[in-house]
Amino acid sequence: MRVLVVEDFEILGQTIGTGLRREGMAVDVALDGHEALAHLAATRYDVVVLDRDIPGVPGDEVCRRIVAGPSGSRVLMLTAASTVRQRVEGLGLGADDYLPKPFDFAELVARVRALARRSVPALPPTLEHGDVSLDPAHRVATRGGRRLDLSRKEFAVLECLLSSPGRPVSAEELLERVWDEAANPFTTAVKTTVRRLRAKLGDPPVIETVREGGYRIGQP
């Protein structure tokens, strides 16, 4: 899952980013509206956590452009404003959800995951292929009823592949969806992570390598 956090208070933005990465998400952080729009022009995000009160391009305008664009990104708007009228205004801009500050981090994570499940096409709460099952909300993956001890990146790669049944997912797409903008595009991280994931999944093999196409779980 790829998330953009737009928050002008840098310490808070980085704290949110760090917390979401610990939940297995790939997270970029923008400190103002101009930076947010630059990120959105270059990358497709599943969810944008957007502070309404940001410098540069206002949060309201950033929200309008996301909604009017083709990305399909879901918007979770954050603001210190807590009145019902202000929340209604935020939702009226096209935001999918609204969370007033201060907030509980566990609630933020739950709302981000809920919005990601509303992406198009919508994903089921549990992803399955054969005897492999993955529950993103509870961070649990099993095979044949046996719980798999996966790292955050291994879990995220498996989630990405199960979310695209039968479709080859390129290494470049995995790098974009599972890692973040700090990732080196020439790194072998994807290949290494897939190799470790295959070993943990065991036999018979689940992940197929598609020549010049990437990796795939299931047939087209």
CA–CA dist 35, 63 (Å, integer): 14
Give the model confidence (pLDDT) of 47-80 as tens digits.
999 998 899 999 989 999 998 888 888 999 988 7
Phi, psi of 133 (to 5 degrees): -135, 140
- What class has domain 2-117? alpha beta
Query: What are 193-207's pLDDT values in tens digits?
Result: 999 999 999 999 999
Q: Is 30's pLDDT higher than 60?
A: yes
pTM of the predicted model as reported, rounded to 2 decimal places: 0.69
List of residues 6+ apart from 66 with CB closer than 8 A: 40, 48, 50, 73, 75, 94
Please say whether the structural domain 127-216 has been given the CATH code 3.40.50.2300. no
Domain limits, the chain: 2-117, 127-216
Q: What is the pLDDT of residues 134-174, one digit of tens each?
A: 998 788 999 999 999 999 899 999 999 998 888 888 888 88
